[in-house]
Amino acid sequence: MDIEKLIEETFTAHEHDVPDEATVLAAARRRIHRRRLALSRPLAVAAGVAVVALAAAAVVTVARTGSTPDEAAPADKAQTAAPKTAPKPAVASLPMPFSLGWLPPGRVEYVVHRVNVGATSDAPDARPVYGGDYMITVTANGQVLGVNVQQMRTMPVDEAMFKSGPGRPVTINGRHGVESVHSDGPGGYELYLADPSGGSMYVNVDAQHDSTAPTQKLIDYGHRIAAHIRVPGDTTVTPVFGLRDLPGGQRICAFDVERGTTGFWVGTCTVMPPVVVHTGAPELPGAQPGRPVLGHATRHLDENGFRTLLVLGAVKGEPVAIAGRVPLNQLYAVADRLVLPH
């Protein structure tokens, strides 16, 4: 089953939900694993958005190391210079479209950073749906708070919906917003704040893992986080591997960087990209050996036209998967552009 249909069916089944990534992603992961395709977190779904097709995202520049000059040979010895080898490209950092200037005190763990941007296939020049998304846990004195901040460019503030019930108007730093009335409900504190670039910023603060937190504390933290969002931002995240010089007019349309894993959506970025490149791939029973890539053995599997290519041992001994409903040679063309950690 191809990834476009998989995501479309998952979104359609959950289009009645407001932003609840746990519900949508759990359903997506169950379906994906049944098809032996490990995809790092499909797109989050906003209220009323059933299908999202990706468009142009962050441009990734690959940093390159400089060559080291050869040491001079001793005057009294004949020395043959060693052949020069091209320096390996470095894995480039990825820019986020906005930064968080303040977070609650405690041990901060970034669960995921990503840029999900897009348009519909009927309107490829439409404004992106998602600019970026931070999912964070903050631990202090045994209390664990979850923080989620998303840039929702097609969600007007006055059309916002909440997991915990109705909303009420609020003003933060002179900007209009709507916040949840029942911040002690199942969704915690939620806020949609008008984004100067259009749409809204969604801020959610909630107690996690059986923790509890006073309602006013959640509200105060949510207000302060929102007040310190910087657009545009200067935050970058470091993937575990990269891509460079993609062939055929392709580029990175979206990325997902989690704890120790990375995923890229690669394509023309005017419709849902045809190729997903990611770590955390499952085994592929029945996969056939292929040609080496960057000195690594490969395996490939064709499931009714949906093909997966594994580059074995590419990142910390684990494979990188390149998958899509495209010819195998196109998957190899992407694999040849992998930038692997030294």
Three-state SS annotation for 110-161: EEEEEECCEEECCECCCCCCEEEEEEEEEEECCEEEEEEEEEECCCCHHHCC
Percent of the chain at pLDDT above 90?
A: 44
Between strands 236-237 and 242-243, the pairing is unpaired
Confidence bin at 200 (pLDDT 50/70/90): very high
CA gyration radius for the chain?
A: 22
More confident residue, 261 or 52: 261
Residue-range domain boundaries for the chain = 1-64+87-93+238-342, 97-230
Best-predicted range by mean pLDDT (44-53, 127-136, 160-169): 160-169
314 Cβ contact partners less than 8 Å away, ≥ 6 residues apart: 241, 294, 296, 320, 338, 340
More confident residue, 3 or 149: 149
**Dihedral of the CA atoms 43, 48, 51, 54 (nearest 10)?**
-60
Query: Which pLDDT score, from 0 to 100, does residue 286 have?
Result: 92
Q: Is the pLDDT of residue 99 over 80?
A: yes
Hey, is 265 helix, strand or coil? strand
Read off the pTM.
0.69
- What is the mean predicted confidence (pLDDT) over 86-92? 78
**DSSP track, 164-231:** TS-EEEEEETTEEEEEES-TTSTT-EEEEEE-TTSSEEEEEEEEETT----HHHHHHHHHHHHHTEES
- What is the mean predicted confidence (pLDDT) over 75-93? 58
CA distance 17 to 66: 50
CA distance 242 to 256: 12
69 Cβ contact partners less than 8 Å away, ≥ 6 residues apart: none
Query: Which pLDDT score, from 0 to 100, does residue 120 have?
Result: 44
Query: Which pLDDT score, from 0 to 100, does residue 177 have?
Result: 95
Q: Does residue 255 contact residue 267 with C-beta atoms inside 8 Å?
A: no
Best-predicted range by mean pLDDT (1-15, 167-181, 185-199, 297-311): 297-311
CA distance 116 to 256: 8
Q: Report in angstroms the alpha-carbon separations of 30 from 33, 207, 303, 304.
A: 5, 25, 18, 20
CA distance 70 to 201: 53
Confidence bin at 262 (pLDDT 50/70/90): very high
CA distance 130 to 45: 10
More confident residue, 169 or 62: 169
Place of tokens 């915690």: 188
